[in-house]
Amino acid sequence: MGTVERRRWRGASALTLLCATALLAVSAMTGTAQAAPMPEPGAKSLEQVRQEIDELYRQAGTATDAYNLAESEAKAQSAKIVEIAKQVVAGQDRITALKNRAGAAARAQYRSGGMPAGAQLALSNSPSQFLDGADRIRQGEKATTDLLSEMNRTQSDLQQYAKDASAQWEKLEANRIKQETSKKQIEEKIKSAESLESKLEAEAKARLIQLEQEAQYKAQTAWLSTGVLKEINSSASESGKKAVQYATAQMGKPYVWGAEGPDSFDCSGLTSQAWRAAGKGIPRTSQEQLRLLPKVAVKDMRPGDLIIYFDDASHVGMYVGDGAMIHAPRPGRNVTLAGAGSMPIKAVVRPDA
């Protein structure tokens, strides 16, 4: 067995051991050596409750992605409105300057007695003065035409700025409504999930955690059994190492929807900030990360790559090597290490491709 294979085998074994140890610890807490009580007729099993809670939190994750996207778009629109406002001020200043120039020309004509330039030219006794005067007339006419054209263009620009600002305000309001709708959905889903958990006795709550870990362990084991880890042998880029270092340093911090650190994170808040720390700005949400970042095959992924989970791309984690990833799981959980295959993988994307 080569050095790389031994390292990967040790890493996979360590992760498997970590999962198994966690399961044993919870089993010891709950006394699962004893038979679990039979559920009452018609009552939901604890596994059904777990699945329902998982689905509620996943729906909350989808709504969180929508909220975060609306928030980032609203920030961009606000910045655009500020830029338009600056352009309007500059345009108004330009109009003022042009009007002052036009006023100066009118005053100069008044001082000359108001006589049209053509008449002044006709009264000239000198041919050279005639020619010089004709040239000045042409220059003056061009200057006047240019002045009027510039004033018209500036006025037109101001009208367009007003339209652009109005359109941005409409988008901003639409995103505000989207944010409020998503926030309501998030809070409702989390409240429903917490309500389900609150009705459980302490022993059942501990058993629920064990069922959650067992489901993840089963999925991870199935993923590893395909032999996929034998194909994953790419090394992290320098930027990827920095992103992994940042993500690893956040372990133990709580999940809070919409959070981007430094004290708490949601799933895409963690991955986007990790890559920002590595010097690479990436989209804020898992769905936008999937849509805009280059995709790579699972067998080609390397530490620092982002793993997008579920069909709706509602969750994301960062691959750290040896079949493991770091993620912010859900409300009530902390940033942690988990199996890269512990959830259904939709795609892998690479921020620094």
- Residues annotated catalytic, as ranges: 267, 315, 327
> Which amino acid, 84?
I
1: helix, strand or coil: coil
Listing DSSP states for 226-285 in one string gives TTHHHH--PPPPHHHHHHHHHHHHTTTPBB-TT-BSSS-B-HHHHHHHHHHHTT----SS
**Residues 38, 55: Cα–Cα separation, whole Å:** 24
Helix axes 267-277, 238-249, angle to 10 degrees: 130
**Residues 162, 325: Cα–Cα separation, whole Å:** 48
Given a contact cutoff of 8 angstroms between Cβ atoms, the answer to whether 70 and 183 are in contact is no
**Residues 56, 242: Cα–Cα separation, whole Å:** 33
